[in-house]
Amino acid sequence: MKAVAIILAAGEARRMGHPKALLEHEGGRSFLQSLASTFGKAGCSIIGVIGKDADAVREQHPAIHLVENDGWQDGQLSSAVAGMEAAFEDGADIVLFHPVDMPALRASTLKSLIKAMGDSVEAIRPEFEGAPGYPILLSRSAAERLREKDGGVTLLEGALRGMELRRIPVKDPGVVVNINTPETYERLFGSAPKLAPPPKRRGKKSEATTSAPQASAPMEAASEGISGT
């Protein structure tokens, strides 16, 4: 089965003050680069959905397949749909939705979740200590139904209501750690939010093949305070 990861990175990031896709994670890599590496190590094809600050994100990530959502202001679901269209064209059997501001995910967790899908499960999501997390995994048929949803829903979570999501407990706090405010970033990394350095300063390895950084001890320790946000 072909798994395609859709990294949602189109939003305005008003609270953070910087495009979240471009924020430095660890080792000089951006949030988006770290996630692309992690999903790639789990055997996924990768699609990043961008909108606000699209040109800057493209320039920073030349090796990642990026899809621009011209209607990003319509909400997260519109970005998920844009990603699904590209994933279906790429022959996806499973699609994984993941927000760009949750970069601490482990490749081993992804491998376990993809394995849990099997041939009969239509939708699953991880949970850490009882809190629902990301990514959300859908079979192609479930994703096609999601794509057809209407009724004024703008958030992905809202569109998923009514869909039976099998919850999978995991030991990875990265599935719930959401770095979406300057205060959270500073608590985890010890500095104010900052942008990752330009690609030429990170060497010539592509975003999808560079080894992903491991979640740091501060990241794991902080997960309790921000789980499920």
Q: Return the pLDDT at 215.
A: 39
What digits encode the pLDDT tens for the residues 36-69?
Answer: 999 999 999 999 999 999 999 999 999 999 999 9
pTM, full prediction = 0.86
Mean pLDDT of 116-135: 93
Mean pLDDT of 89-95: 97
Q: Return the pLDDT at 162.
A: 82
Mean pLDDT of 119-140: 94
**Ramachandran area for residue 88 (φ above 0: left; ψ -120 to 50: alpha; else beta):** alpha
Residue 60 to residue 66: CA distance in whole angstroms: 11
pLDDT at 174 over 90: yes
Residue 158 to residue 182: CA distance in whole angstroms: 26
Residue 8 to residue 6: CA distance in whole angstroms: 6
As a three-state string, the secondary structure of the chain is: CCEEEEEEECCCCCCCCCCHHHEECCCCCEHHHHHHHHHHHCCCEEEEEEECEHHHHHHHCCCCCEEECCCHHHCHHHHHHHHHHHHHHCCCCEEEEEECCCCCCCHHHHHHHHHHHCCCCCEEEEEECCEECCCEEEEHHHHHHHHCCCCCCCCHHHHHCCCCCEEEECCCHHHCCCCCCHHHHHHHHCCCCCECCCHHHHCCCCCCCCCCCCCCHHHHHHHHHHCCC
